[in-house]
Amino acid sequence: MTEKPPGDLHDEGSQWYDGEAGPLVRPYAMTGGRTQPGPTGVPFDLIALVTLDPAAPGMDGDSALGPEHRTLIELCRTETQSVAELAADADLPVGVVRVLLGDLLELGCVTVSRPVPPAHLPDERILREVIEGLRAL
């Protein structure tokens, strides 16, 4: 081991990393270095709901989409997902998911709901529904 100079680490399939080493791809490499969503620039809330647009253009062979984009699309295919769920299920940091969702929104693949504005709590009817729903759990 120690006889080898550091430069030889890649020789003979020598594994200098393992499962404990963490990600070898910098997270924002998946977004081409972007840390903010594209021109639309809407910061998606953690509970913003992402729905696959049924009228979305065919995504097969679209070179604008990376594997992580496709993962998100697949996760949305079965049901509407929140941004937080997408991040957890795709095992990607929320910041990265936001950028990727910005791409998908611009391409017209998904729709994203707006969060409830702070001053506008849902009306009483909804709150009563929530309380009754919780009681019934």
Partner 1 sequence: MASEHVEAADDISALALKILVAGGFGVGKTTLVGSVSEIRPLRTEELLSEAGQLVDDTDGVDRKVTTTVAMDFGRITIRSGLALYLFGTPGQDRFWFIWDELSQGALGAVVLADTRRLEDCFPAVDYFEHRRIPFVVAVNCFPGARPYGAQDVSRALDLDQGTPVVLCDARDRDSGKEVLIRLVEYAGRMHTARLLDSVS
**Whose Cβ is closer to partner 1: residue 7's or residue 33's?**
33
Sequence-separated (6 or more) residues with CB below 8 Å from residue 137: none
Residue 50 φ then ψ, to 5°: -110, 120
Q: Which of 16, 17, 53, 64 binds partner 1 (CB under 8 A)?
A: 53
Binding mask 77-116 for partner 1 (x = CB under 8 A): ---x-x-xx-xxx---xxxx--------xx-x-xxxxxxx
80: closest CA among 54, 58, 42?
A: 54
Residue type, 132: E
Residue 43 has which token pair?
A: 């910061």
Using CB under 8 A, which of the segments 9-17, 21-29, 60-68, 70-78 binds partner 1?
21-29
What is the smallest separation between the CB atom of 8 and partner 1, expressed in angstroms?
Answer: 24
**Any contact of residue 49 with partner 1 (CB under 8 A)?**
yes
Q: Which residue has the tokens 């009228």?
A: 55
